[in-house]
Structure 1
């Protein structure tokens, strides 16, 4: 049986500006994505017949296995495979196997990453010969973060997040991710954001120019000072214990601390690899998270297409 395996990075939002809810239910976003070398792995294997199935394996501690990852057509990797098949009239099926490392419901687009990886893996398995533009179009229909996960690196996100353009970023950035023992619903966070702005809609979002300048210069301290997330107040209201994580990061001299996306993962920017290890030890010693994962970004060669 032929098989194709694709590794796909997690994403973080260095800035996440959120505008007023649109009529289609989405929000206009102005964000800076960055891929980090915390990767899921998706394997696609040919099967007899036209079925598309998925199995999920968790990498690491046993608590991860409690994460609610669907293993039916609601899994985004399955949706991606079916969307690709429909777009190109493929008659074959595939058995998908996902090795999960990216936190589930952690604000790091683990599901979107698996969808992007499944697109690339099944494209190779079935020999559809899809162009970059065709894969991007399918990805945009799957979710706002999926197109970026096809690209990796560092990029601006516009529209509802699906409009991606590269950003100049020099150097490597050292991150620590404080992982919570259970996830936070993106839908719940956005509902809370809308409730907070029920009387006065938020302005149209913009990316802080200071962040783009710091990225172009490879200035980690400048990046840390420019981190921003419009969803953070809602995430903190839903999960007040995340404030303790932010406090430990500040005490440990992190260059910047921020809730990642819709949370509950908190990201801390370190000065270097040694400082990253020190922050991870502090977080675990204080008991403010179930795991502290070190990563760097962007990973060279992380682009999927």
Structure 2
């Protein structure tokens, strides 16, 4: 048992990715961001972030996606650790290891998830004992999606997405995710393309769909599927035309709904059951386009401490 006299040498946190069941993009603000109304949904594809006491600050990533994650000061998990240390006058460097399973630049907030995990892990490692509300104030300065990954579940996000209200729901939803093997999409580029496609059209203030929120109360799969919406989807399709073929393939195979998650290019297919998810996965793999196909469920919990450090490597999984 860890005591105050024996602080932990390190902490491992499990954190989920997210998909956007709805993303309504409003007008561009003076700060360059867009006003949003979005429904976040945490799903069971997880990264694991370990922080250990060290002589100097560092970050490294393991797993098949490691080459696509920066290991310098731009890494969002390292930035999160620095920000928390500065906020609470902690002068103890950490070495961060990320086991990366959430697609990179895929619209599933993988970098934001790692930042949320780093905040939770460092809070535990340094013995700060902060409530999640205090971590949110640091998280919001790091990125619009980071606060949600501290909590998980399903929630409505407003502002840039950082203001959260939980969504009441019962049960779970089954998903099949398709992600590109080779490339991601820049969030900034997708928003810029969305602005270009809109041109001079009038953009109203965004609001979440009442129909979606009602459907989520009972997890009515067909009703949720009918409400899936993403105002960035057309821009993502413009920048990555192969996504149209993916969506068409899924619809022809029979799904309750399909949507590009966030800024893409991950495509989320909603299905009725785990058996339907397996059938769709096999069908997509046979038909193409080629991509990384995963079955998952939601909602799941946000960033959670799962234990002390464990040996890292491309096959690291916890729980």
Find the partner of 1:53 among 58, 62, 68: 58
Show CA shifts across 1:239-278 (max 9, x none): 1111111111111111000111100010000110010011
For residues 171 and 128 of structure 1, the distance between their equivalents in structure 2, rounded to whole angstroms, comes to 34
Deviation at 1:37, TM superposition (A): 0.5
Q: Which residue of 1 aligns with 2:153?
A: 153
Cα deviation code 1:36-69 (max 9, x no counterpart): 0100000000113xx22101011xxx5x355x21
Look up the SS of the partner of 1:171 in the other structure: coil
Q: Is the 8 A contact 1:107 1:262 kept in 2?
A: yes
Map of 2:129 onto structure 1 = 129
Give the secondary structure class of the aligned counterpart of 2:175. strand
Q: Is the partner of 1:189 in helix, strand or coil?
A: helix
Partner of 1:30: 37
CA RMSD, aligned part only? 1.3
* 1:133 positional shift: 2.1
CA distance in structure 1 between the aligned counterparts of 2:47 and 2:26, rounded to whole angstroms: 30
**Structure 1 gaps, min length 5:** none
Q: Any conservation in 2 of the 1:151–1:304 contact (CA below 8 Å)?
A: no
Between the aligned partners of 1:136 and 1:30, the Cα distance in structure 2 is 18
Deviations 1:103-157 (A, max 9, x none): 0000000000000000000111111222322200000000000000001000010
| TM-score (normalizing by structure 2) | 0.90
Report the counterpart of residue 172 of structure 1 in structure 2: 172
Trace 1:128-277 onto structure 2 (pairs within 5 A). 128-181=128-181, 182-277=183-278
1:81 maps to 81
What is the count of residue pairs matched by the alignment?
297
Secondary structure at 1:178 match in 2: strand
Cα distance in structure 1, aligned partners of 2:179 and 2:283: 13
Question: What's the secondary structure of 2:255's corresponding residue?
Answer: coil
CA contact (8 A) 2:233 2:263 kept: yes
Verify the 8 A CA contact 2:178 2:267 in the aligned structure 1: yes
Asked whether the equivalents of residues 150 and 302 of structure 2 are also in contact (C-alpha less than 8 Å), the reply is: no
The structure-2 alpha-carbon separation of the partners of 1:204 and 1:250, relative to structure 1 and needing over 3 Å to count, comes to: same
* Contact 1:17-1:206 within 8 A present in 2 as well: yes
Unmatched 5+ residue regions in structure 2?
1-7, 306-319
Once residues 212 and 46 of structure 1 are traced to their aligned partners in structure 2, the CA distance between those partners, rounded to angstroms, is 43
